[in-house]
């Protein structure tokens, strides 16, 4: 059921979370499917609803930076990044503190935990009202396109979710950037809504990118086939075929344009929306996407469309 994210409904959603249910809610990146991070049964529901084949670790969402030290080992660099970019589209992979067994399922038994503070008033209000960290993968069936509206959630999960809090379209539109902070050098495990350049400028140091073996990813969710539309998708296309639904970038003729002015932020916000639109039409049964510069948020966009085009 889709309901507006007003304060009364946020309280109802928090009651569902506290009673072990799952709830879909907006964040600035994508809609999440939330559950109490301490409730293994509720977390198991997330995997069942999404049809995730294995227990892949989940991001714990918090609403207060002070909670970080309860779950994770921190240092000055981590806290400086958190103070600068939280709330926002940034997730840290950190060493767990005391390996609190209640968080074992959320972390899939790993000795590392993923934590993020989302920048969306509804998400923050829901976490506060639930009085627990909320684990939340994107609120869609495993391997399909991530949801950036409440309608996308409903299209993918239907009534498997008792409540979908609707607060319009997500402003960032691609998932958070995941940084592994457990090594000397910061490693980007997933390019996302905060660009690597911005992070490097702030830290005044270079980050590494984990592009390693896709079949043995260090972030277990980073498998090659992901975000897949139902139609075959080609990328880096300048001259689409007549039977291809063409998603453009920059000034060009196309069926939909991610950003006619070549603005990467606008393109990121439109990406999943337009992939959903492309797979909802029936006239052209293939998708082609124009080249996107691989800088700033373009890196996150290219990462997602590369997976979307994987055969
Ligand atoms: O923007 C986002 O991050 C969204 C919104 C809802 O917050 N969430 C999201 O969650 O994208 P999900 O589950 O689709 O992606 C989380 C990624 C997965 O690739 C997972 O493998 C990785 O984070 N991950 C989680 N915990 C980890 C851990 N302890 N070590 C390594 N990777 C981890
Ligand atoms: Mg996902």
pLDDT of residue 227: 72
Q: Which of 99, 144, 147, 175 to mutate to test the pocket of ligand 1 (most atoms within 8 A of CB)?
A: 175
- Atom of ligand 1 lying closest to residue 136 CA: 6
pLDDT of residue 104: 87
Give distance in angstroms: CA of 11 to centre of ligand 1.
25
Among 173, 118, 165, residue whose Cα is nearest residue 16: 165
Nearest CA to ligand 1 atom 9: 137
- Token duo for residue 199: 């992070």
pLDDT of residue 216: 43
How far is it, in rounded angstroms, from Cα 277 to Cα 273? 6
Residues contacting residue 62 through CB under 8 Å, at least 6 positions apart: 68, 115, 116, 117, 127, 133
The dihedral built from the CA positions of residue 123, 124, 129 and 132, taken in this order, carries a sign that is: positive
For the question of whether the overall pTM of this predicted structure is more than 0.75, the answer is yes
pLDDT of residue 222: 58
Q: Give, as one character, the DSSP assignment of residue 193.
A: S
Alpha helices in the chain (DSSP H): 7-18, 40-50, 68-71, 76-85, 121-130, 150-157, 196-203, 264-280, 298-308
How far is it, in rounded angstroms, from Cα 272 to Cα 275? 5
How far is it, in rounded angstroms, from Cα 72 to Cα 87? 17
Nearest CA to ligand 1 atom 10: 137
Positions in the chain whose pLDDT score sits under 50: 212-217
pLDDT of residue 219: 58
DSSP, residue by residue, 34-82: EEETT-HHHHHHHHHHHT-SS----EEE-S-GGGHHHHB---HHHHHHH
Q: Give, as one character, the DSSP assignment of residue 15.
A: H
pLDDT of residue 38: 94
pLDDT of residue 221: 54
Ligand 1 pocket, CB under 6 A = 27, 29-30, 32, 56-59, 91, 93, 107, 110, 112-114, 116, 118, 136-138, 175-176, 178, 219-222
């Amino acid at each position: 059921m889709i309901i507006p994210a007003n304060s009364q409904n946020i309280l109802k959603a928090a009651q569902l979370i506290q009673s072990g249910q799952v709830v879909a809610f907006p964040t600035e990146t994508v809609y999440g499917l939330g559950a109490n991070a301490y409730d293994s049964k509720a977390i198991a529901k997330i995997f069942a609803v999404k049809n995730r084949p294995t227990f892949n670790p989940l991001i714990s969402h918090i609403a207060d930076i002070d909670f970080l030290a309860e779950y994770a080992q921190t240092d000055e660099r981590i806290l400086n990044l958190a103070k600068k970019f939280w709330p926002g589209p940034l997730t840290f992979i950190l060493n767990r503190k005391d390996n609190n067994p209640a968080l074992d399922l959320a972390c899939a038994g790993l000795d590392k935990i993923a934590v993020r503070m989302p920048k969306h008033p509804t998400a923050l209000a829901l976490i506060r009202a639930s009085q627990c960290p909320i684990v939340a993968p994107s609120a869609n069936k495993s391997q399909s396109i991530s949801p950036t509206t409440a309608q996308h959630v409903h299209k993918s999960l239907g009534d498997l979710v008792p409540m979908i809090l609707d607060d319009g379209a997500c402003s960032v539109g691609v998932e958070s950037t995941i940084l592994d902070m457990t090594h000397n050098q910061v490693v980007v495990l997933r390019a996302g809504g905060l660009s690597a350049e911005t992070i490097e400028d702030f830290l005044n140091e270079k980050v590494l990118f984990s592009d390693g073996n896709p079949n043995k990813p260090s972030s277990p969710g980073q498998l090659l086939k992901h975000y897949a539309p139902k139609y075959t998708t080609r990328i880096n296309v300048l001259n689409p075929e007549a039977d291809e639904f063409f998603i453009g970038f920059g000034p060009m003729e196309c069926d939909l344009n991610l950003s006619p002015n070549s603005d990467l932020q606008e393109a990121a916000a439109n990406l999943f929306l337009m992939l959903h639109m492309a797979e909802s039409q029936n006239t052209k049964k293939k998708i082609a996407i124009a080249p996107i510069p691989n800088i700033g948020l373009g890196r996150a966009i290219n990462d997602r469309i590369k997976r979307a085009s994987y055969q």
